[in-house]
Amino acid sequence: MPFIGNQPAESYSAFQKQDFSTSATTSYTLDNPVANANELALFINFVRQEPTTAYSASGTSLTLTSATASSDDMYCVYLGKAVQTVNPPNASVGLSQLTASGTKDATTFLRGDNSFATPDSGLTLIKETNASNVASVSFVHGTSDVVFDSTYKVYFCTFTNILLASDEELFLRILSGGSAQSGSTSYWTGLYGTYGSPTSPNAFNDRYENALWGSPGDVESTIPVSGYVYFYNVGQSSAYPMAMGQMFMQRSNGNHYAMNFSGYYKTAISNFDGFTLTNNGGGNISSGNFKLYGVK
Protein backbone atom coordinates (compact mmCIF):
# COMPACT_ATOMS: atom_id res chain seq x y z
CA MET A 1 0.00 0.00 0.00
CA PRO A 2 1.46 3.41 -0.91
CA PHE A 3 2.48 5.74 1.90
CA ILE A 4 -0.08 8.49 2.55
CA GLY A 5 1.09 11.87 3.83
CA ASN A 6 4.45 13.60 4.02
CA GLN A 7 7.46 11.42 3.47
CA PRO A 8 9.30 11.13 6.81
CA ALA A 9 12.87 12.46 6.81
CA GLU A 10 15.59 9.84 6.90
CA SER A 11 17.00 9.63 10.41
CA TYR A 12 20.25 8.49 11.99
CA SER A 13 20.81 7.03 15.46
CA ALA A 14 23.53 8.24 17.80
CA PHE A 15 23.98 6.80 21.30
CA GLN A 16 24.63 9.22 24.14
CA LYS A 17 27.63 8.90 26.42
CA GLN A 18 28.22 10.16 29.97
CA ASP A 19 31.61 10.55 31.69
CA PHE A 20 31.80 10.36 35.49
CA SER A 21 34.11 12.09 37.95
CA THR A 22 35.04 9.12 40.13
CA SER A 23 35.70 8.96 43.86
CA ALA A 24 35.69 6.32 46.63
CA THR A 25 31.96 5.59 46.41
CA THR A 26 29.40 3.20 44.94
CA SER A 27 26.71 5.80 44.19
CA TYR A 28 26.50 7.97 41.08
CA THR A 29 23.86 10.08 39.37
CA LEU A 30 22.84 9.52 35.75
CA ASP A 31 22.14 12.38 33.37
CA ASN A 32 19.18 10.47 31.91
CA PRO A 33 16.74 8.18 33.72
CA VAL A 34 16.73 4.47 32.82
CA ALA A 35 14.40 1.57 33.60
CA ASN A 36 17.14 -0.86 34.66
CA ALA A 37 20.84 -1.69 34.36
CA ASN A 38 20.38 -3.32 30.94
CA GLU A 39 19.80 0.10 29.40
CA LEU A 40 23.40 1.07 30.23
CA ALA A 41 26.76 -0.11 28.98
CA LEU A 42 29.09 0.79 31.86
CA PHE A 43 32.88 0.87 31.45
CA ILE A 44 35.42 1.18 34.29
CA ASN A 45 39.03 1.61 33.22
CA PHE A 46 37.91 0.74 29.69
CA VAL A 47 36.54 -2.67 30.76
CA ARG A 48 32.83 -3.27 30.23
CA GLN A 49 30.95 -4.24 33.41
CA GLU A 50 28.20 -6.88 33.61
CA PRO A 51 24.72 -5.39 34.22
CA THR A 52 22.94 -6.40 37.46
CA THR A 53 26.14 -8.08 38.69
CA ALA A 54 28.64 -5.20 38.71
CA TYR A 55 26.02 -2.48 38.94
CA SER A 56 22.31 -1.72 39.18
CA ALA A 57 20.40 1.27 37.87
CA SER A 58 16.95 2.76 38.30
CA GLY A 59 15.80 6.22 37.33
CA THR A 60 18.83 8.49 37.64
CA SER A 61 20.54 6.36 40.32
CA LEU A 62 23.54 4.19 39.46
CA THR A 63 24.81 1.85 42.19
CA LEU A 64 28.04 -0.14 41.91
CA THR A 65 28.74 -3.46 43.63
CA SER A 66 32.27 -2.29 44.50
CA ALA A 67 33.41 1.28 45.16
CA THR A 68 35.56 3.03 42.63
CA ALA A 69 38.77 4.95 43.30
CA SER A 70 39.38 8.57 42.35
CA SER A 71 41.96 7.42 39.80
CA ASP A 72 39.46 5.22 37.92
CA ASP A 73 38.10 6.13 34.50
CA MET A 74 34.36 5.48 34.25
CA TYR A 75 31.74 6.23 31.61
CA CYS A 76 28.50 4.80 30.34
CA VAL A 77 26.64 4.61 27.04
CA TYR A 78 22.84 4.87 27.11
CA LEU A 79 21.69 1.90 25.05
CA GLY A 80 18.03 2.75 25.44
CA LYS A 81 18.38 6.42 24.53
CA ALA A 82 19.34 6.69 20.87
CA VAL A 83 18.71 10.17 19.52
CA GLN A 84 17.00 10.36 16.12
CA THR A 85 18.17 13.13 13.80
CA VAL A 86 17.88 13.98 10.11
CA ASN A 87 21.61 14.85 10.08
CA PRO A 88 24.45 12.37 10.56
CA PRO A 89 26.01 12.56 14.05
CA ASN A 90 29.12 14.70 14.44
CA ALA A 91 32.34 13.14 13.09
CA SER A 92 30.39 10.18 11.65
CA VAL A 93 31.13 10.97 8.00
CA GLY A 94 34.59 10.05 6.76
CA LEU A 95 36.39 10.26 3.44
CA SER A 96 35.09 6.82 2.45
CA GLN A 97 31.52 8.20 2.56
CA LEU A 98 32.37 10.93 0.03
CA THR A 99 32.57 10.59 -3.73
CA ALA A 100 34.95 13.55 -4.07
CA SER A 101 37.79 13.28 -6.55
CA GLY A 102 41.34 14.46 -6.03
CA THR A 103 43.64 14.22 -3.01
CA LYS A 104 42.55 15.21 0.48
CA ASP A 105 45.40 16.64 2.57
CA ALA A 106 46.41 19.73 4.54
CA THR A 107 46.99 21.76 1.37
CA THR A 108 43.66 21.11 -0.41
CA PHE A 109 40.03 22.12 0.03
CA LEU A 110 36.70 20.63 -1.09
CA ARG A 111 35.20 22.58 -3.98
CA GLY A 112 31.55 23.01 -4.83
CA ASP A 113 31.88 20.45 -7.65
CA ASN A 114 32.85 17.79 -5.05
CA SER A 115 36.54 17.71 -5.89
CA PHE A 116 39.61 18.47 -3.80
CA ALA A 117 41.78 21.27 -5.17
CA THR A 118 44.77 23.36 -4.10
CA PRO A 119 44.02 27.04 -3.40
CA ASP A 120 45.44 29.34 -6.01
CA SER A 121 47.14 32.18 -4.14
CA GLY A 122 48.35 33.70 -7.40
CA LEU A 123 51.91 33.85 -6.04
CA THR A 124 54.06 30.69 -5.98
CA LEU A 125 57.50 30.52 -4.37
CA ILE A 126 59.75 28.80 -6.92
CA LYS A 127 63.14 29.02 -5.22
CA GLU A 128 64.93 30.72 -2.33
CA THR A 129 68.68 31.04 -2.01
CA ASN A 130 71.08 32.72 0.42
CA ALA A 131 74.27 34.16 -1.05
CA SER A 132 77.57 33.64 0.72
CA ASN A 133 80.65 35.18 -0.96
CA VAL A 134 79.60 34.34 -4.52
CA ALA A 135 80.37 36.19 -7.75
CA SER A 136 76.70 36.27 -8.75
CA VAL A 137 73.25 34.91 -7.95
CA SER A 138 71.40 33.52 -10.97
CA PHE A 139 67.97 32.07 -11.63
CA VAL A 140 67.82 30.22 -14.93
CA HIS A 141 65.37 27.70 -16.37
CA GLY A 142 66.45 24.06 -16.11
CA THR A 143 68.91 24.39 -13.24
CA SER A 144 68.26 23.60 -9.59
CA ASP A 145 64.49 23.20 -10.15
CA VAL A 146 64.03 26.82 -11.29
CA VAL A 147 61.16 27.40 -13.71
CA PHE A 148 61.71 30.58 -15.68
CA ASP A 149 59.60 30.08 -18.79
CA SER A 150 56.02 30.62 -19.95
CA THR A 151 54.66 28.68 -16.93
CA TYR A 152 53.87 32.03 -15.28
CA LYS A 153 52.78 35.29 -16.83
CA VAL A 154 55.07 37.36 -14.59
CA TYR A 155 58.03 36.55 -12.36
CA PHE A 156 58.75 38.39 -9.12
CA CYS A 157 62.10 38.45 -7.29
CA THR A 158 62.89 39.91 -3.87
CA PHE A 159 66.45 40.62 -2.74
CA THR A 160 66.90 41.38 0.94
CA ASN A 161 69.89 42.65 2.93
CA ILE A 162 72.38 42.28 0.08
CA LEU A 163 75.96 43.14 1.05
CA LEU A 164 78.74 43.51 -1.51
CA ALA A 165 82.32 42.60 -0.71
CA SER A 166 83.51 45.99 -2.02
CA ASP A 167 82.11 49.40 -2.90
CA GLU A 168 80.90 48.53 -6.40
CA GLU A 169 77.75 48.70 -8.52
CA LEU A 170 75.07 46.03 -8.27
CA PHE A 171 73.84 45.02 -11.73
CA LEU A 172 70.92 42.90 -12.93
CA ARG A 173 71.41 41.28 -16.34
CA ILE A 174 69.23 39.00 -18.45
CA LEU A 175 70.15 35.44 -19.36
CA SER A 176 69.53 33.96 -22.78
CA GLY A 177 70.29 30.27 -23.12
CA GLY A 178 71.72 30.48 -19.62
CA SER A 179 74.33 33.09 -20.57
CA ALA A 180 74.44 36.72 -19.44
CA GLN A 181 74.14 39.10 -22.37
CA SER A 182 76.83 41.64 -23.14
CA GLY A 183 76.95 44.72 -25.32
CA SER A 184 74.98 47.95 -25.25
CA THR A 185 71.41 47.05 -26.13
CA SER A 186 69.71 47.30 -22.74
CA TYR A 187 68.19 50.53 -21.48
CA TRP A 188 66.98 51.35 -18.05
CA THR A 189 65.54 54.43 -16.43
CA GLY A 190 65.37 55.49 -12.83
CA LEU A 191 63.63 57.97 -10.61
CA TYR A 192 65.27 58.38 -7.24
CA GLY A 193 65.45 60.73 -4.28
CA THR A 194 68.51 61.23 -2.12
CA TYR A 195 68.82 62.02 1.55
CA GLY A 196 69.95 65.53 0.71
CA SER A 197 67.02 66.37 -1.59
CA PRO A 198 64.03 64.15 -0.79
CA THR A 199 61.48 66.56 -2.29
CA SER A 200 63.18 66.89 -5.69
CA PRO A 201 63.87 63.41 -7.07
CA ASN A 202 66.49 62.87 -9.77
CA ALA A 203 65.59 61.24 -13.07
CA PHE A 204 67.91 59.64 -15.59
CA ASN A 205 68.13 57.00 -18.27
CA ASP A 206 71.16 55.05 -19.27
CA ARG A 207 72.57 52.07 -21.16
CA TYR A 208 74.76 49.61 -19.32
CA GLU A 209 76.21 46.42 -20.83
CA ASN A 210 72.84 44.71 -21.22
CA ALA A 211 71.92 45.43 -17.61
CA LEU A 212 68.17 45.70 -17.03
CA TRP A 213 69.09 47.65 -13.94
CA GLY A 214 72.22 48.99 -12.27
CA SER A 215 72.73 50.84 -9.01
CA PRO A 216 73.31 54.59 -9.47
CA GLY A 217 76.91 54.61 -8.33
CA ASP A 218 78.96 52.41 -6.02
CA VAL A 219 77.04 50.74 -3.19
CA GLU A 220 78.41 51.21 0.32
CA SER A 221 79.60 47.66 1.13
CA THR A 222 78.68 47.94 4.82
CA ILE A 223 75.07 49.03 4.20
CA PRO A 224 72.62 46.38 2.90
CA VAL A 225 70.63 46.78 -0.32
CA SER A 226 67.01 45.57 -0.46
CA GLY A 227 64.35 45.66 -3.12
CA TYR A 228 62.27 43.73 -5.63
CA VAL A 229 61.84 43.39 -9.37
CA TYR A 230 59.13 42.10 -11.74
CA PHE A 231 60.01 40.36 -15.03
CA TYR A 232 57.82 40.36 -18.14
CA ASN A 233 57.80 38.62 -21.56
CA VAL A 234 59.40 35.43 -20.25
CA GLY A 235 59.46 32.21 -22.28
CA GLN A 236 58.08 33.66 -25.50
CA SER A 237 59.35 32.74 -28.95
CA SER A 238 60.31 36.35 -29.68
CA ALA A 239 60.43 38.57 -26.61
CA TYR A 240 61.59 41.96 -25.49
CA PRO A 241 62.64 41.26 -21.87
CA MET A 242 61.43 43.88 -19.44
CA ALA A 243 61.90 44.52 -15.73
CA MET A 244 60.49 46.97 -13.21
CA GLY A 245 61.04 47.36 -9.49
CA GLN A 246 62.17 49.34 -6.47
CA MET A 247 65.20 49.29 -4.19
CA PHE A 248 66.97 51.17 -1.40
CA MET A 249 70.72 51.65 -1.08
CA GLN A 250 73.44 53.91 0.26
CA ARG A 251 76.23 55.02 -2.03
CA SER A 252 79.85 54.99 -0.99
CA ASN A 253 79.73 58.82 -0.97
CA GLY A 254 77.15 58.70 1.85
CA ASN A 255 74.03 59.56 -0.15
CA HIS A 256 70.94 57.46 0.46
CA TYR A 257 68.84 56.38 -2.53
CA ALA A 258 65.22 55.25 -2.63
CA MET A 259 64.77 54.32 -6.27
CA ASN A 260 62.11 53.23 -8.77
CA PHE A 261 63.58 51.66 -11.89
CA SER A 262 62.56 49.96 -15.11
CA GLY A 263 64.47 48.51 -18.00
CA TYR A 264 64.11 46.68 -21.28
CA TYR A 265 66.22 44.83 -23.81
CA LYS A 266 65.62 46.64 -27.07
CA THR A 267 66.34 43.63 -29.32
CA ALA A 268 63.94 40.70 -29.37
CA ILE A 269 65.47 37.42 -28.27
CA SER A 270 64.04 33.91 -28.56
CA ASN A 271 65.19 32.56 -25.21
CA PHE A 272 64.81 34.88 -22.23
CA ASP A 273 65.22 32.17 -19.61
CA GLY A 274 66.66 33.83 -16.52
CA PHE A 275 68.55 36.65 -14.88
CA THR A 276 71.62 37.23 -12.75
CA LEU A 277 72.60 39.77 -10.07
CA THR A 278 76.29 40.57 -9.95
CA ASN A 279 78.85 42.84 -8.33
CA ASN A 280 79.80 44.82 -11.44
CA GLY A 281 83.26 45.60 -10.07
CA GLY A 282 84.26 41.96 -10.19
CA GLY A 283 84.01 41.37 -6.43
CA ASN A 284 81.67 39.00 -4.64
CA ILE A 285 78.23 39.29 -3.13
CA SER A 286 79.01 38.70 0.53
CA SER A 287 75.53 37.82 1.74
CA GLY A 288 71.81 38.29 1.15
CA ASN A 289 68.54 36.50 0.63
CA PHE A 290 66.94 36.01 -2.80
CA LYS A 291 63.47 34.64 -3.55
CA LEU A 292 61.88 33.99 -6.93
CA TYR A 293 58.08 33.77 -7.28
CA GLY A 294 55.80 32.99 -10.19
CA VAL A 295 52.69 35.14 -10.65
CA LYS A 296 49.70 33.62 -12.45
Domain that holds residue 193: 123-295
Q: Are residues 169 and 256 in the same domain?
A: yes
pLDDT interval class at 42 (50, 70, 90): very high
Q: Are residues 152 and 223 in the same domain?
A: yes
Q: Are residues 287 and 222 in the same domain?
A: yes
Q: Are residues 285 and 167 in the same domain?
A: yes
CB 265 within 8 A of CB 210: yes
More confident residue, 208 or 26: 26
Q: Are residues 129 and 81 in the same domain?
A: no
Give pLDDT, residue 240: 84
Give pLDDT, residue 197: 46
In a domain, 110, yes or no: no
Q: Are residues 147 and 18 in the same domain?
A: no
In a domain, 96, yes or no: no
Looking at the DSSP bridge assignments, the partners of residue 226 are 248
In a domain, 7, yes or no: no
**How many domains in the chain?**
2
pLDDT interval class at 5 (50, 70, 90): low
Give pLDDT, residue 114: 80
Of the chain, the percentage scoring pLDDT greater than 70 comes to 79
55 exposed, middle or buried (CB, 10 Å; 0-12, 13-18, 19+)?
buried
Give pLDDT, residue 198: 46
Q: Are residues 77 and 212 in the same domain?
A: no
What DSSP designation does 147 have?
A: -
In a domain, 101, yes or no: no
Domain ends where: 57, 85, 113? 85
Phi and psi angles of residue 96, each rounded to the nearest 5 degrees, phi first: -65, -20
In a domain, 239, yes or no: yes
In a domain, 282, yes or no: yes
Q: Are residues 129 and 28 in the same domain?
A: no
pLDDT in tens, 195-219: 444 455 555 555 555 677 777 778 8
Q: Are residues 195 and 81 in the same domain?
A: no
CB 81 within 8 A of CB 15: yes
Q: Are residues 156 and 208 in the same domain?
A: yes
pLDDT in tens, 227-254: 999 999 887 778 888 889 888 888 888 7
Q: Are residues 173 and 267 in the same domain?
A: yes
In a domain, 1, yes or no: no
Domain ends where: 66, 85, 104? 85
Q: What is the CA radius of gyration of the chain?
A: 36
Q: What share of the chain is helix, strand, coil (3-state, %, to 5)?
A: 0, 55, 45
Side chain identity at residue 219, one-letter code: V
pLDDT in tens, 45-92: 999 999 999 999 999 999 999 999 999 999 999 987 755 555 666 666
pLDDT in tens, 119-166: 776 788 999 999 999 999 999 988 777 888 888 889 999 999 999 998
**What CATH number has the domain bearing residue 189?**
2.60.120
- Cα–Cα distances in angstroms (integers) from residue 215 to residues 71, 125, 169, 211, 224, in the given order: 72, 26, 5, 10, 13
Spatial CB neighbours of 154, under 8 Å, sequence gap ≥ 6? 230, 231, 232, 234, 294, 295
Mean pLDDT of the chain: 82
In a domain, 102, yes or no: no
Q: What is the dihedral of CA 230, 235, 236, 241, to 10 degrees?
A: 40
More confident residue, 190 or 128: 128
Q: Are residues 162 and 230 in the same domain?
A: yes
